Structure 1
Amino acid sequence: MQGIYRQRKYGSILALGIIGSFIPMAQAAGVIKEVNDNQWHYEFTPYIWATGQSGTLGVDNGPGNGQTFDQSFSDIWDRMDIGGMAAFEARYNRWGILLDGIYLRVSDHAGISAPNGFVSLSANGRVTQQQYAAAGYYRAIDGQTTLDALVGLRYNVVSWDIDAQLASPLFPGLSLSRNFSERKHWLDPYAGVRVTHNFDQQWSIVGYADIGGASAGSNLTWQLLGGVNYAFSPNVIGKLGYRYVSINYRNEGFIYDVATSGFYTGVGIAW
């Protein structure tokens, strides 16, 4: 029964549960203008990212050396308990910082029965994904088109808590329960560029790319983003775009080789 439980643990709960690899929404901002002045500019952006995921996920020598999965945004949304995403950017003249945080928890239930229903095994799982990023940037090119060069760090946390119960109608008074909890975390350095082109005072487009890892954390992680910004006023900026993120992390039997992609939208408040 341990093998059956491990299969459900890795295949059903974790593969359906984990949502990961979010990049800072502040990196898609690109709307703080007039850099050649000597005062601070700030922007706070709550956002959502309608992601789908595919890849391989394994834990501690799980069956098949990791479980492959492919899930849409609706699959993830159906299992979500709570989620929060927000970004912050501050700039003084040509120098700036980007901060981003995300917290997401999903739950799932899996069950399996032996032939004729003589034994049943059920499991309730909760998976939490957290990511916190900080980067510094320098505006190397200024004007109608701007280019920011940046370096930073991302701290990734994946944790899960699983309650399993074994029961049999042959022994009504016998029920075996067990809890399994584990937490994985790693730090990824990265470097990237952000290019913004301003058509006028309202419309702008932004492109972003970074690469990191290099065995210091993930084996390799890279990201691409393209988006459109519209300034409803000098202090309120709407954002819409598409983002693709790839993370390949392997360490101590844990495999997280996942591609995450989808449309994002948010509203930036600048001052």
Structure 2
Amino acid sequence: MTTRHVPLALGLVLAVQGMASEARAADDGWRYQLTPYAWMAGVSGDVRPLAGAPTVSTSRSFGDVLDDLEGAFFLAGSARRDRWVLFGDLTWASLSHESTLAPGVAVQGKLRQRSLTAAAGYQVVSEPDHRLDLLAGARAWRIEAEVGVPALALGARDTERWVDPILAARLRSSWRPAWTTLLHADVGGFGVGADSTWQLVATGNYAVNETLYLSAGYRHLAVDRDEAGTRLDVAMSGPLLGATWRF
């Protein structure tokens, strides 16, 4: 190599090193994603929303739930850096129902639920096509129940709040360039908040581009809690649709 070519070669080496450094910095930075989704869940189980009230067994399809639905909001998100991962999920729903106790006497009921899941973990498997995260965290619940008989000027209201510790695993698999799957499982409660709770989520995901993904799948969430005269032993399950923005 001639002397005049040394500066050019040195410049190319420095440029490549600079590009590699920038790529490593990008890889080492935080990556985020947000997923608003719709969960079309039915509900079944036993509920005693107020202390002293009778226990009610229910089995309602999503169509039945939709008739009573006043509003709902679901949002999941995650953040990653190297193999570390943070995960969160927010759910909110409000329902109301009216039935007849006697001719001219209506009973009105309202139920509002909120849950917030937060967990942190580590990617224990990092293969080109399969990545497994193990996480630990908590799910906080707030359930507000209200029953009223306007004609008799009677009513009762109660709010239950508790926090469940949870352990979770998330497996992401790539099958084709644009197709991936996600399997999520968690278990918790352990008598700290609820007696027990567990969840399974499975989705198939399609990459529209590098930042937008569309998802469809199924979710099942169960919780069993008996505390201070109230009882909640229900399972919520149904299909879900979502869109994920990655940045």
Return the TM-score normalized by structure 1.
0.78
Unaligned ranges ≥5, structure 1: 1-33, 167-175
- Number of the residue aligned with 1:109: 98
Q: 1:48 aligns with which of 13, 38, 48?
A: 38
- Number of the residue aligned with 2:4: none
Q: CA deviation at 1:42?
A: 0.6
The equivalences for 1:93-172 within 5 A come to 93-113=82-102, 120-143=104-127, 144-166=129-151
* Runs (4+) off by over 3 Å: none
1:197 matched to 2:173: yes
Q: 1:61 aligns with which of 44, 52, 66?
A: 52
- Number of the residue aligned with 2:66: 77
CA distance in 1, matches of 2:124, 2:110: 44
- Number of the residue aligned with 1:91: 80
Q: CA deviation at 1:123?
A: 2.3
Query: Residues 156-211 of structure 1: CA distance to partner in whole angstroms, max 9, x if unpaired?
Result: 11102333123xxxxxxxxx413322101111000011111112331111212111
CA distance in 2, matches of 1:139, 1:130: 29
Query: Residues 206-241 of structure 1: CA distance to partner in whole angstroms, max 9, x if unpaired?
Result: 212111111011111111222211111110011111
CA distance in 2, matches of 1:162, 1:250: 20
CA distance in 1, matches of 2:146, 2:57: 20
Unaligned ranges ≥5, structure 2: 1-23
1:230 matched to 2:206: yes
RMSD: 1.6
Whichever of the two has the greater Rg, that structure is 2
CA distance in 2, matches of 1:221, 1:161: 24
- Number of the residue aligned with 2:28: 38
- The structure with higher relative contact order (CA 8 Å, sep 6+) is 1
CA distance in 1, matches of 2:131, 2:207: 17
Q: CA deviation at 1:125?
A: 2.3
**Pairs aligned (count):** 221
Please tell me whether the aligned partners of residues 101 and 107 of structure 2 are also in contact (alpha carbons under 8 angstroms): no
The equivalences for 1:2-17 within 5 A come to none
Q: 1:179 aligns with which of 125, 141, 155?
A: 155
- Number of the residue aligned with 1:270: 246
CA distance in 2, matches of 1:197, 1:81: 36
Q: Which amino acid aligns with 2:169?
A: V
| Identity fraction in percent | 27
